[in-house]
């Protein structure tokens, strides 16, 4: 069944399906029925949501990108903490060479992931990465692992393959083929990239500074926006929201060589929540409390 699902993705009109799904999710037609079915099918916990009554959501996308109640995702309180950017499960994590691990025995190119920019890829060579897969039931806002100043955003058009484990195991270079938004920050740990990867039926990727990014049309050139001279600077605190998915997907974070150490207990398929400890900045006293 998994093989058939993967093969079908090569055939179906991915962007048209995602466009139509987006129109339905942005409308009010059948929105209560859709939300009710979705909550039951994926066992969504609305007790964490600021809005618990499904009738109060403007549309399905408002439900899907729902805000949580204050304190629902406390941030790890240790000095130099690197926070998990989203709810979901670790897809893969570890060291970066020229490639990143996608699934068992399957890798993809760091340079291709970053839109072919070799100078940018060099900043993260020999560093580390973590890939977090957001399932349909998860909270779909993405938060900053570490406070930083936005330097550049790169929109890279591409395919919209599903990003679940079955697809990741079978489709080569999956994350370097799908539509994605690369957000580059200057942080206390040096360069940090937060990459929001689109997927089948993801009707939009948004950032807090630019709104919806891309057209999900699958065509066109890579678009790069320089924010290094933006006035005032776009600075986002650790744990603050930086973007969101209108329907699920994957987040990849990259750090430079020697900058951080990932938590040793994390491995592929480990469930995670936004705000829990993903790693620590190297050279910071691990026993000290976080004062930021």
Catalytic residue list contains 265: no
For the chain, the 3-state helix, strand and coil shares in percent, each to the nearest 5, are 25, 30, 45
Q: Position of tokens 């910071």?
A: 284
Query: Cα dihedral sign for 55, 60, 62, 68?
Result: positive
Task: Given the residues 91, 143, 151, 162, select the one marked as catalytic.
Answer: 143
Q: Where are the alpha helices (DSSP H) in the chain?
A: 2-11, 14-26, 31-42, 60-64, 110-113, 118-124, 165-170, 174-177
Q: Which of 15, 18, 87, 162 is catalytic?
A: 87
Distance between CA 110 and CA 182 in Å, rounded?
12
Catalytic annotation on 143? Answer: yes
Phi then psi dihedrals of residue 91, to 5 deg: -80, -55
Residues whose CB is less than 8 angstroms from the CB of residue 79 and which lie 6 or more positions away in sequence, other chains included: 284, 285, 286, 287, 288, 289, 290, 291
Task: Confirm whether 87 is a catalytic residue.
Answer: yes
- Exactly one of 91, 162, 203, 249 is catalytic; name it: 249
Active site (catalytic) residues: 87, 143, 249
């Amino acid at each position: 069944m998994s093989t058939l699902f993967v093969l079908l993705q090569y055939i179906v009109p991915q962007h048209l399906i995602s466009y139509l799904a987006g129109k339905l999710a942005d409308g009010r037609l059948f929105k209560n029925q859709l939300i009710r079915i979705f909550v039951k099918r994926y066992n969504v916990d609305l007790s964490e949501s600021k809005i618990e009554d499904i009738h109060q959501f403007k549309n399905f996308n408002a439900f899907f990108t729902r805000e949580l109640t204050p304190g629902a995702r406390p941030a790890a309180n240790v000095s130099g903490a690197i926070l998990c950017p989203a709810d979901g499960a670790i897809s893969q994590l570890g060291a970066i060479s020229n490639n990143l691990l996608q699934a068992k025995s399957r890798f993809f190119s760091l340079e291709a992931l970053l839109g072919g920019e070799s100078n940018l890829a060099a900043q993260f060579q020999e560093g580390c990465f973590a890939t977090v897969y957001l399932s349909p039931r998860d909270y779909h806002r993405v938060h900053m692992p570490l406070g930083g100043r936005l330097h550049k955003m790169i929109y890279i058009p591409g395919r919209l393959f599903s990003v679940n484990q079955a697809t990741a195991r079978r489709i080569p270079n999956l994350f370097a083929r799908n539509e994605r938004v690369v957000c580059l920050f200057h942080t206390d740990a040096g360069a940090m990239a937060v990459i929001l990867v689109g997927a089948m039926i993801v009707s939009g990727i948004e950032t807090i500074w630019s709104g919806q990014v891309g057209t999900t049309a699958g065509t066109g050139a890579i678009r790069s926006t320089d924010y290094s001279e933006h006035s005032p600077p776009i600075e986002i605190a650790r744990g603050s929201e930086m973007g969101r998915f209108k329907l699920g997907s994957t987040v990849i974070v990259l750090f430079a060589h020697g900058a951080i150490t990932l938590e040793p207990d994390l491995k592929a398929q480990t469930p995670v929540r936004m705000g829990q400890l993903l790693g620590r900045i190297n050279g910071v006293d691990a026993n000290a409390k976080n004062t930021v």
